[in-house]
Amino acid sequence: MTRTNAPIITIDGPSGSGKGTVSRAVAHTLGWALLDSGALYRLVALAGRKAGVDLGDGQGLAALATGLDIRFGANPAGGEQIWLDGQDVSNAIRTEEAGNDASRVAVLLPVREALLERQRRFVAAPGLVADGRDMGTVVFPQAQLKIFLIAEPGERALRRYKQLKEKGLPASLPRLSEDIAERDRRDASRAVSPLRASADAVVLDSTGMTIDAVVARIMQLAKDRL
């Protein structure tokens, strides 16, 4: 199977909808590669901060994005590990501040264009699970199965809160709720690649569902479609 015709499942949706955990589990179950596209935007913002590039400077950030040395891996416990220019930034990119920075740089067209080809290079046999906001609409419109995962904002804030606490990172629930509302607004209203379900996506509301139940539903859809 060539790089370009390996099957793809896209999982898009707003912050805290459970996409990250669900995508990882689906990729693991199928034995497929995983693209965490949000991590790429977080890495560009972090690299921009480190290099002193203004987070509104699309051209400057795009130039940085093109040359970034990024490595995805797993630590011995199976958790994600991400290196930027040889430095372990796994925790640094997961803070709320890094998420807000990522949402800011993600509105810039030059940054999105600079990351397009890098994202498409993740396609590999036997298949790819791609997690993000515009995976089904822009990056992989040819995907065989597109999921748009949603959940009520209150539940999403609570999930994020638990996730951050588990990682030992600081978190405040009222602050997270505000951040989620603000990020939803920015992600959905931006001119380039706004957050929206592809016309051919299956919209899955995970409110009140366990992660296992969401994964099982997607696996069933995958079995029917692939």
Task: Tell the smallest beta-carbon distance from residue 223 to ligand DC (Å).
Answer: 26
Axis-axis angle for helices 96-105, 173-189 (nearest 10): 10
Contact with ligand DC (CB under 6 A): which of 37, 137, 177, 206?
37
User: Which residues, numbered 52-91, are part of the site for ligand DC (CB under 6 A)?
Assistant: none
Stretch that binds ligand DC, among 37-45, 58-66, 67-75, 217-225 (CB under 6 A): 37-45
- Backbone angles phi and psi of 168, in degrees to 5: 75, 20
Least distance in angstroms from the C-beta of 166 to ligand DC: 16
Report in angstroms how near the CB of residue 186 gets to ligand DC at its nearest: 7
Q: Return the number of the residue (30 or 40) whose C-beta is nearest ligand DC.
A: 40
Is residue 99 involved in binding ligand DC (CB under 6 A)?
A: yes
Closest CA to 116 of 225, 219, 50, 192: 192
- Asked if 13 and 150 touch (Cβ cutoff 8 Å), the reply is yes
Judged by DSSP in three states, 203 sits in strand
Residues β-bridged to residue 80: 74
Which residue, 7 or 99, has its beta carbon nearer to ligand DC? Answer: 99
Helix/strand/coil percent split, the chain, to 5: 50, 15, 35
Q: How far is the CB of 93 from ligand DC (least distance, A)?
A: 8
Shortest distance (Å) from residue 111 CB to ligand DC: 9
If one asks whether residue 42 binds ligand DC (CB under 6 A), the answer comes out as: yes
Q: Which residues contact 39 (CB under 8 A, 6 or more apart)?
A: 72, 82, 93
> Comparing C-alpha atoms, which of 164, 132, 153, 133 is closest to residue 207?
153
Give me the residue whose beta carbon is nearest to ligand DC. 38
CB closer to ligand DC, 1 vs 200: 200
Binding mask 126-145 for ligand DC (x = CB under 6 A): ------xxx-----------
Mask of contacts with ligand DC, 153-192, x by CB under 6 A? ------------------------------x---x-----
What is the token pair recorded at 218? 């997607």
DSSP assignment of 134-196 equals SIIIII-TT-SEEEEEE--HHHHHHHHHHHHHHTT----HHHHHHHHHHHHHHHHH-SSS-S-
Applying CB under 6 A, the residues found at the interface with ligand DC are 15, 37-38, 41-42, 99, 102-103, 106, 132-134, 183, 187
